[in-house]
């Protein structure tokens, strides 16, 4: 996908005539830019932030660079169809997205409680976007413009492109293409597919004729013209049979790769078929550089100034997106379905140019907050074979152990970080988007760990072991707990060598499929022994298009079809979460109930290993004496273990 520089210069000169350089958001902007009719009108659920960390900004700027005009309708009044008609009917079609976040995840916690803020809305105000925003916006457009082409995209549409389990309604819903009335879905990151769709429409093809573009999903009445496809179990089948659902999901999971993935077809009643074309090919480094080098204003539209702007921008304003895609393969993550497993990255030149822009911002204090992506230390495909044959269908790069073909090399990332640290005005460069500790260990050179500890950590490094039970970790797609323990040892040893007091903060997850009471208590005991109570615990959230969500709904691991225990009731999930935070006074009743259900009432008492003190009962002198003796023995054992550990480290 090569951007046409001549067209880009022409459109940029038109944009410069605008009062503020943003894309048009009202009829006055149209007049100022002398645009009679937009090629595309983009309707989306976020406020308009013209920054390359926001999907609508990227897609619209890419279209603009290819010579198309785009009108922006951010957060329309979803109760009034006139709100999406302010520009009239576009020449080529409507683009629709819920925004950077899935609207249901944006609105509800894992416990299905309403969130109190919306970071993508002016002032963090809630209520400016509807539930299931893509469906609502598409229906509004259909009310006003019966035949206008509608292309849905973004994370919400992408992860619902085929039939899927919906946690919030506890049901299996049809493809969002059918529920919304859209004509096409542009899934994944979308730059390639949306430009291809724009060119096809501009060439005079009807939206119904656009059926074969990679990275798109369409609907057809007949399969006579559809070639080389896999037929998934029909919607009616997976609606009735959870085993069929798991089988269908795993076929989809094994066909997300742009090189080896097959075209997929899902049948619905009344002779309707949803066709998912193979994914778009990864962007080259040059293409990534072009996209992130487009003329973004790098801030929110000034119409939001009075309400204090858009809170979500503060998280990314002084950060750099250096890569896309992730070969980590965590079961609870939807990146396999959205960005894919092949890592794409930007050049040092591109990232340094953006960093210089960041340093010139008036509110920049000298700190680059992040240099990364889904996984910060991934800068290239996992192996050379991926760009020729695609990713392995039924194998992971890091799980259960690193593949023999994995190229674990941090050298390029180290050089990039050194260049960024050397820029005038930069005091420190942080890494906040997370590193894969098993990938760090797979690198035979410890130079990255040294530079990480020396320059890029400020007191605490957050990593994501997620759990301590190997049974649960296997279902999570994470390495065994011993791998995290080894990283913890090497991290501690490195900081001692550098004379730094820096600590690991583990992200932990409660209630993931496979977490029985035994595993939940084991995680609580680990926190007790660590002397650490996490302030934040992620309760497993069954979002669309993840292996973990498939497990949650079906009770089966789709990779093996083996049964999996699933904590389903909200009350059980509350108890498992409370066990990890057993020291919180407000969690006492939940922890006590959980320990009794787990048959672990031995953890309610005065012993050093107990999680709770008995309620309403004073400790006797004998119990106190026994506890003191036990504490002394435990202390001696701990001292002996520390001495032994230090000897080993020497």
Least Cα distance to 43 among 5, 89, 9, 107 occurs for 89
Query: What sign does the dihedral 174-179-183-184 (CA atoms) show?
Result: negative
Q: Between the CA of residue 286 and those of 194, 195, 291, 347, 350, what are the distances in Å?
A: 18, 17, 9, 8, 9
pLDDT reported for residue 619: 55
Q: Which two tokens stand for residue 20?
A: 């503020």
What letter does residue 305 receive in the DSSP assignment?
G
- 103-132: per-residue pLDDT in tens? 999 999 999 999 999 999 999 999 999 999
pLDDT reported for residue 535: 78
Q: Does one domain contain both 434 and 356?
A: yes
Q: Which two tokens stand for residue 557?
A: 């691991």
Helix, strand, or coil (residue 538): strand
Rounded-to-10 torsion of CA 438, 441, 444, 450 = 130
With 0.85 as the threshold, say if the pTM is over it.
Answer: yes
CATH number at residue 538: 3.30.750.200
Domain boundary among 426, 458, 490: 458
Sheet of strand 272-276: strand arrangement? 70-74, 40-44, 93-97, 150-153, 184-186, 216-220, 272-276, 263-268, 229-231
What is the C-alpha to C-alpha distance for residues 238 and 229, in angstroms, rounded to an integer?
19
DSSP assignments along 595-650, one per residue: HHHTT-GGGBSSSTT-SBPPTT-PPPHHHHHHHHHHHHHHHHHHHHHHHHHHHHH-
pLDDT mean by block of 10 residues, the chain; 650 residues: 50 43 94 95 98 97 98 97 96 98 97 96 96 98 96 98 98 98 97 98 97 97 94 97 98 95 95 96 97 97 96 96 95 93 97 97 96 95 90 92 95 98 97 93 96 94 95 97 97 96 94 97 94 86 97 98 96 96 94 96 93 76 53 46 47
CATH number at residue 452: 3.30.750.210
Q: Which two tokens stand for residue 102?
A: 């899935």
Is residue 147 in some structural domain? yes
Please, are residues 326 and 339 in contact by the beta-carbon 8 Å criterion? yes
Is residue 312 in some structural domain? no
Domain count, the chain: 4
Q: Distance from CA of residue 641 to its chain's centroid?
A: 39
What does the angle CA 305 – CA 311 – CA 315 come to, to the nearest 5 degrees?
A: 130
Q: Does one domain contain both 609 and 635?
A: no
Domain boundary among 153, 188, 211: 211
Least Cα distance to 172 among 236, 113, 111, 108 occurs for 236
Label residue 397 exposed, middle or buried (CB < 10 Å: 0-12, 13-18, 19+).
buried
Q: Does one domain contain both 413 and 489?
A: no
Q: Between the CA of residue 202 and those of 39, 309, 456, 534, what are the distances in Å?
A: 9, 36, 48, 54
Is residue 216 in some structural domain? no
**Contacts for 461 with CB less than 8 Å, ≥ 6 apart:** 452, 453, 491, 502, 503, 504, 505
Give bridge partners of residue 557 from the DSSP assignment.
Answer: 562
Q: Does one domain contain both 58 and 194?
A: yes
Q: Does one domain contain both 441 and 483?
A: no
Q: Does one domain contain both 116 and 65?
A: yes
Q: Which two tokens stand for residue 447?
A: 């130079």
The half-sphere exposure of 305 on its side-chain side, counting CA atoms within 13 A, is 4
Is residue 509 in some structural domain? yes
What is the C-alpha to C-alpha distance for residues 262 and 232, in angstroms, rounded to an integer?
11
Q: Which two tokens stand for residue 154?
A: 């973004």
pLDDT reported for residue 586: 94
Is residue 309 in some structural domain? no
Q: Does one domain contain both 450 and 464?
A: no
- 610-646: per-residue pLDDT in tens? 999 998 656 555 555 555 554 444 454 454 445 445 5
Q: Between the CA of residue 166 and those of 107, 171, 252, 546, 556, what are the distances in Å?
A: 14, 5, 17, 12, 17
Residue 336 lies in domain: 318-458
What letter does residue 234 receive in the DSSP assignment?
P
pLDDT reported for residue 4: 57
Q: DSSP alpha helices (H): ranges in 228-281?
A: 235-240, 242-253
Is residue 247 in some structural domain? no
Q: In this structure, what are the phi and psi dihedrals at residue 275, rounded to the nearest 5 degrees?
A: -115, 120
What letter does residue 450 receive in the DSSP assignment?
H
Cβ of 396: how many Cβ atoms within 10 Å?
20
pLDDT reported for residue 14: 40
Q: Does one domain contain both 411 and 525?
A: no
Is residue 587 in some structural domain? yes
Q: Does one domain contain both 489 and 564?
A: yes
Q: Does one domain contain both 76 and 188?
A: yes
pLDDT reported for residue 299: 96
- 451-479 residues labelled b (16+ CB within 10 A) or e (exposed): bbbeebbeeebebbbbbbbeebbbbbbbb
CATH number at residue 188: 3.40.50.280
What is the C-alpha to C-alpha distance for residues 373 and 403, in angstroms, rounded to an integer?
22
Is residue 224 in some structural domain? no
Domain boundary among 211, 236, 268: 211
Q: Does one domain contain both 579 and 639?
A: no
Q: Does one domain contain both 17 and 49?
A: yes
Helix, strand, or coil (residue 273): strand
């Amino acid at each position: 996908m090569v951007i046409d520089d001549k067209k880009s210069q022409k459109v940029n000169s038109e944009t410069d005539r605008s009062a503020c350089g943003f894309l048009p958001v009202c009829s006055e902007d149209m007049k100022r830019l002398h645009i009679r009719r937009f090629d595309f009108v983009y309707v989306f659920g976020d406020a308009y932030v013209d920054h390359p960390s926001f999907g609508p900004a990227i897609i619209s700027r890419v279209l603009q660079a290819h010579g198309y005009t785009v009108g922006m309708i951010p957060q329309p009044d979803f109760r009034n169809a006139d709100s999406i008609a302010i520009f009239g009917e576009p020449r080529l079609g409507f683009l629709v997205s819920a925004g950077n976040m899935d609207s249901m995840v944006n609105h509800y916690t894992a416990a299905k409680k309403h969130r109190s803020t919306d970071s993508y809305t002016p002032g963090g105000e809630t209520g400016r976007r509807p539930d299931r925003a893509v469906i609502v916006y598409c229906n509004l457009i259909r009310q006003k413009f019966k035949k206008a082409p509608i292309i849905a995209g973004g994370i919400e549409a992408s992860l619902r492109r085929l039939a899927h389990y919906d946690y919030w309604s506890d049901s299996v819903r049809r493809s969002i293409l059918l529920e919304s009335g859209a004509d096409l879905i542009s899934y994944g990151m979308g730059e390639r597919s949306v430009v291809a769709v724009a060119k096809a429409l501009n060439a005079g093809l009807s939206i119904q004729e656009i059926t074969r573009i990679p990275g798109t999903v369409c609907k057809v009445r007949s399969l006579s013209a559809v070639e080389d496809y896999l037929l998934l179990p029909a919607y009616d089948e997976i609606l009735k049979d959870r085993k069929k659902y798991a089988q269908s999901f795993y076929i989809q999971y094994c066909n997300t790769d742009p090189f080896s993935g097959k075209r997929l077809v899902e049948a619905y009643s009344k002779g309707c078929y949803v066709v998912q074309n193979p994914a778009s090919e990864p962007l080259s480094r040059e293409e990534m550089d072009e996209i992130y080098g487009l003329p973004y204003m790098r801030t929110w539209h000034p119409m939001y100034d009075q309400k204090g702007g858009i809170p979500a921008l503060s998280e990314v304003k002084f950060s750099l997106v250096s890569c896309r895609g992730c070969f980590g393969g965590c079961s609870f993550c939807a990146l396999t379905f959205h960005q894919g497993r092949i890592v794409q990255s930007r050049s040092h030149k591109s990232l340094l140019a953006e960093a210089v822009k960041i340093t010139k911002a008036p509110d920049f204090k000298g700190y680059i907050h992040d240099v990364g992506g889904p996984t910060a230390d991934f800068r290239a495909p996992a192996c050379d074979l991926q760009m020729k044959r695609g990713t392995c269908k039924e194998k992971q790069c890091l799980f259960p152990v690193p593949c023999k073909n994995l190229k674990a090399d941090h050298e390029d990332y180290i050089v990039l970080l050194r260049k960024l640290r050397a820029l005038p005005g930069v005091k420190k460069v942080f890494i906040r988007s997370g590193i894969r500790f098993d990938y760090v260990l797979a690198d035979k050179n410890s130079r990255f760990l040294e530079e990480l500890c020396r320059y890029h950590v400020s007191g605490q490094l957050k990593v994501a072991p997620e759990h301590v039970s190997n049974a649960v970790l296997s279902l999570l797609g994470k390495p065994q707990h011993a791998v995290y323990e080894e990283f913890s040892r090497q991290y501690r040893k490195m900081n001692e060598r550098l004379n730094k007091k820096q600590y690991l903060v583990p992200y932990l997850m409660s209630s993931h499929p496979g977490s029985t009471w035994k595993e939940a208590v084991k995680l609580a005991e680990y926190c007790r022994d660590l002397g650490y109570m996490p302030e934040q615990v992620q309760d497993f959230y069954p979002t669309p298009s993840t292996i973990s969500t498939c497990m949650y709904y079906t009770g089966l691991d789709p990779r093996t079809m083996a049964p999996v225990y699933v904590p389903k009731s909200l009350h059980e999930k509350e108890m498992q979460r409370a066990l990890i935070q057993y020291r919180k006074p407000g969690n006492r009743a939940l922890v006590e109930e959980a320990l009794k259900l787990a048959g672990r009432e031995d953890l309610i008492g005065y012993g050093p290993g107990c999680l709770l003190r008995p309620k309403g009962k004073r400790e006797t002198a004998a119990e106190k004496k026994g506890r003191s003796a036990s504490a002394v023995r435990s202390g001696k054992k701990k001292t002996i273990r520390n001495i032994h550990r230090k000897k080993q480290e020497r």
